[in-house]
Structure 1
Amino acid sequence: MKLLPPLLAVLLMAAGAAQAQTQTYTVVCVKTSCGRLLVNESAGKLETDYSYRNNGRGPDQKETLEFAPDGAWMAYRTEGVATYGARIAESFERKADGKAVWRSPVDSGERAGLARDAVYLPVQASPAWAARLAQSLLAAKTPRIEALPAGRLSIERVQRLSVPGQAYEIGLYAITGIELEPSYLWLREDNRALFAQVYPGWGGTVLQGFEAEIDRLSDAQKAAQFAHLQRLAKELPQPLPGLTVIEGVRWFDSQAAVLRGPSDVYLQDGHIAFIAKPGTLKTAAPAQRISGKGRTLLPGFVDMHAHVTPGDLLLNLAAGVTAVRDVGNDNAELAQLRGRIDRGEVLGTRISANGFIEGKSPFSSQADFVPDNLPDALAAIDWYAAHGYRQLKLYNSIRPEWVKPMVARARELGLRTGGHVPAFMTAAQAVEAGYDELHHINQVTLNFLVGKGDDTRTLLRFNLVGDKAADLKLNDRRTQDFIALLKKKGTVVDATMTAFEGTYTQRQGQPSASYAMVAANLPAVVQRSFLSAEVDMDDAKAKRWGASWKVMMDLLRRMHAAGIPLVAGTDATAGFAFQRELELYVQAGIPAAQALKIATWNGAKYSDRLNEIGSIERGKRADLLLVDGDPVADIRAIRRVALVIQGDKALSPAALYQSMGILPFVPSAEITK
Structure 2
Amino acid sequence: MTPRGLVLALLWAGALSAQAADYAVLAQNQLAGHLRVETGPDGRVETDYSYRDNGRGPDLKESFRLAANGAPRDYRGRGRSTMGAEIAEEFDVVDAHARWHSRADSGEAPAGEDFVFVPLEASPGYYGAVVSMLLAQPEGSAATLGGVKLRAEILARLTPDAATGPLALVAITGADAQPWYYWVRDDASHALFAITWPGWAVAEKGAEALVPTLLARQQQAADERLMALRQRLARPLDGVTLIRNVRWFDAPAARMRGPSDVWISHGRIDAVTEPGALRVLPERAIDGRGQTLLPGLWDMHAHLWSEDGLAHLAGGVTSIRDPGNDNAELLRLRSRIERGAVIGPNVYAAGFIEGKSPFSARNGIVAETLDDALDAVSWYACHGYVGIKLYNSIKPEWVKPLTDKARRLGLHVNGHVPAFMLAEQAVRAGYAELTHINQVMLNFVSRPGDDSRTLLRFQRVGSDAQAVDLASPKVHRFIALLRERQVVIDPTLMTFEAMFTQAQGELDPVLGDVAGHLPVLWQRQLRVAPMDLAGDKLDTYRRSYAKLLALTRDMHRAGVPLVAGTDGTAGLGLHRELALYVQAGIPALEVLRIATWNGARVVGASAERGRIARGYVADLLLVEGDPSQDIAALRRASLVIQGQVAYAPAELYEAMGFKPFASAPRMLVRPAH
The alpha-carbon deviation at position 417 of structure 1 amounts to 1.0
Distance 1:72 1:211, change over 3 A: closer
Corresponding position of 2:380 = 384
SS of corresponding position for 1:65: strand
SS of corresponding position for 1:128: helix
**Out of 575, 585, 588, which is 2:571 matched to?**
575
Q: Is the 8 A contact 1:84 1:459 kept in 2?
A: yes
SS of corresponding position for 1:252: strand
Corresponding position of 1:270 = 267
Q: Which runs of 5+ in 2 are unaligned?
A: 1-16
Corresponding position of 1:57 = 56
SS of corresponding position for 1:50: strand
Corresponding position of 2:408 = 412
Q: Is the 8 A contact 1:120 1:149 kept in 2?
A: no
**C-alpha separation in 2, matches of 1:256 and 1:610:** 14
Distance 1:246 1:330, change over 3 A: same
Cα deviation digits, residues 276-326 of structure 1 (max 9, x gap): 0000112x1111100010010000001100110012100000111000000
SS of corresponding position for 2:528: coil
Corresponding position of 2:6 = none
Question: Is 1:225 aligned to 2:225, yes or no?
Answer: no
1:357-436 maps to which residues of 2 (within 5 A)?
A: 357-436=353-432
Q: Is the 8 A contact 2:264 2:618 kept in 1?
A: yes
The alpha-carbon deviation at position 110 of structure 1 amounts to 2.0
The alpha-carbon deviation at position 41 of structure 1 amounts to 1.1
The alpha-carbon deviation at position 375 of structure 1 amounts to 1.3
Amino acid corresponding to residue 349 of structure 1 in structure 2: P
Amino acid corresponding to residue 267 of structure 1 in structure 2: I
SS of corresponding position for 2:324: coil
Cα deviation digits, residues 115-161 of structure 1 (max 9, x gap): 01111101011222111001111122445311147632111000111
1:110-149 maps to which residues of 2 (within 5 A)?
A: 110-112=108-110, 114-148=111-145
Question: Is 1:237 aligned to 2:209, yes or no?
Answer: no
Cα RMSD between the aligned structures? 1.3
Cα deviation digits, residues 443-466 of structure 1 (max 9, x gap): 111110112200000000011110
1:169-318 maps to which residues of 2 (within 5 A)?
A: 169-190=166-187, 191-199=189-197, 201-282=198-279, 284-318=280-314
Q: Is the 8 A contact 2:70 2:132 kept in 1?
A: no
**C-alpha separation in 2, matches of 1:132 and 1:577:** 32
1:580-619 maps to which residues of 2 (within 5 A)?
A: 580-619=576-615
SS of corresponding position for 2:574: helix
Q: Is the 8 A contact 2:352 2:391 kept in 1?
A: yes
**Out of 420, 423, 443, which is 1:447 matched to?**
443
SS of corresponding position for 1:423: coil
**Out of 96, 99, 102, which is 1:101 matched to?**
99
The alpha-carbon deviation at position 20 of structure 1 amounts to 6.3
Corresponding position of 2:11 = none
Q: Is the 8 A contact 2:58 2:80 kept in 1?
A: yes
Identical aligned residues as a percent? 48
The alpha-carbon deviation at position 369 of structure 1 amounts to 1.6
SS of corresponding position for 1:118: coil
Cα deviation digits, residues 151-197 of structure 1 (max 9, x gap): 32111000111032326311110001232101011111122111011
Corresponding position of 2:5 = none
Corresponding position of 1:34 = 32
The alpha-carbon deviation at position 32 of structure 1 amounts to 0.6
Corresponding position of 1:326 = 322
Give the number of aligned pairs: 651
**C-alpha separation in 2, matches of 1:129 and 1:100:** 17
The alpha-carbon deviation at position 68 of structure 1 amounts to 2.8
**C-alpha separation in 2, matches of 1:442 and 1:349:** 27
SS of corresponding position for 1:278: coil
Cα deviation digits, residues 195-216 of structure 1 (max 9, x gap): 01112x2211000001111111
SS of corresponding position for 1:71: coil
Q: Is the 8 A contact 1:419 1:439 kept in 2?
A: yes
The alpha-carbon deviation at position 387 of structure 1 amounts to 2.0
**C-alpha separation in 2, matches of 1:111 and 1:387:** 53
Q: Based on CA coordinates, which of the two structures has the bigger radius of gyration? A: 1
Amino acid corresponding to residue 25 of structure 1 in structure 2: Y
Corresponding position of 1:502 = 498
**C-alpha separation in 2, matches of 1:310 and 1:409:** 32
Corresponding position of 1:9 = none
Amino acid corresponding to residue 80 of structure 2 in structure 1: V
**C-alpha separation in 2, matches of 1:218 and 1:163:** 12
What TM-score does the superposition give when structure 2 sets the normalisation length? 0.95
Q: Is the 8 A contact 1:159 1:172 kept in 2?
A: yes
The alpha-carbon deviation at position 73 of structure 1 amounts to 2.5
1:526-545 maps to which residues of 2 (within 5 A)?
A: 526-545=522-541
**C-alpha separation in 1, matches of 2:550 and 2:169:** 49
Amino acid corresponding to residue 584 of structure 2 in structure 1: A
Q: Which runs of 5+ in 1 are unaligned?
A: 1-18
Distance 1:229 1:359, change over 3 A: same
Distance 1:473 1:73, change over 3 A: same
Distance 1:303 1:92, change over 3 A: same
**Out of 21, 24, 27, which is 1:23 matched to?**
21
**C-alpha separation in 1, matches of 2:400 and 2:594:** 29
